[in-house]
Amino acid sequence: IEKVLISEKPDALLIYGDTNSTLAGSLVASKLHIPIFHIEAGNRLGELYNPEEINRIVADHLSELKFAATDIAYNNLVKENIGKGSYVVGNIMYDAFMEYTNTNYIVDKLLDIDNNYIKVPKDYYYMTCHREENTRDDKPLTEILSAMNDLDLITIYPVHPRNRERAKRICEKNSFKNIFLVNPVGYLESVNLTKKAKKIVTDSGGLQCEAFFAKVQCVTIYDKVCWPETMVNNRNQLAKADKKEILEKLSSEQKIDSAYMPFGDGHAAEKIVKYINKWEK
């Protein structure tokens, strides 16, 4: 990143989210005195043990323009005395979701982890699970998979490479026949699977948002709230890696308030560009 910034001499660096590359970009640009613009600023878990939390905080405090996805995120920035240069623009994930769900793209078959094509059933549950606390040993993942196996429909589970062998072994050992273990899917495939799923179980911050956009009920296997805006009317519920609790949460029904749109109107990117165009170094 340093080599590119020195070579290109940009007016500013636009960074997104809370990954290690986000942190790296913010540190390099700051030391080179290049202004930083941070998209998805202000998100907080409230726990510094979480690596992404450190990335978010450092990136926000080094950024000149901070684009918050929601009012809650904006208020977090104000509380940290970095409200100047902060704006609520909506969530650009919602922009992308709206763009790509309006296509004719259809997922009708997927590659399983043995590289055989399987037909996507008409009705199914969609699951992702990759966080270390849910996959570092057999117990939590077995609880999650056991819950999914007891449901009334097939579960489609794109398996992260880190727990591919573990997931396969658990399913074979316990004769879980109601779960399709498939290779990782791309963004368009995931959006399509999300939109048509009966319900979703995940530990992904992004997928729980996309489930909310798609009006598909979600259960999140995590102990912290990533997106408080989604935690309304059973739209998204937290559960431990515990079979009984997961099934209990999945058995509830959500209530959708069509007037409730905490992530904006699908034009976040346009608003970001507008603020950047107004910015003066």
Q: Which residues are catalytic?
A: 130
Nearest to 206, CA basis, from 230, 233, 241: 230
Residues 163, 136 contacting (CB under 8 angstroms)? no
Give the separation between CA 34 and CA 51, rounded to whole angstroms: 24
Displacement of CA 280 from its chain's centroid (Å): 32
Displacement of CA 10 from its chain's centroid (Å): 29
CA distances from 112 to 118, 174, 201, 218 (A): 7, 18, 19, 23
Give the separation between CA 128 and CA 216, rounded to whole angstroms: 14
Give the separation between CA 126 and CA 80, rounded to whole angstroms: 37
Task: Write down the H helix ranges in the chain.
Answer: 2-8, 20-31, 51-62, 71-79, 92-101, 132-135, 138-149, 164-173, 187-196, 205-213, 243-251, 268-278
Give the separation between CA 1 and CA 28, rounded to whole angstroms: 7
Q: Which residues touch 169 (CB under 8 Å, ≥6 apart)?
A: 138
Q: Residue 74 pairs with which residues in a beta bridge?
A: none
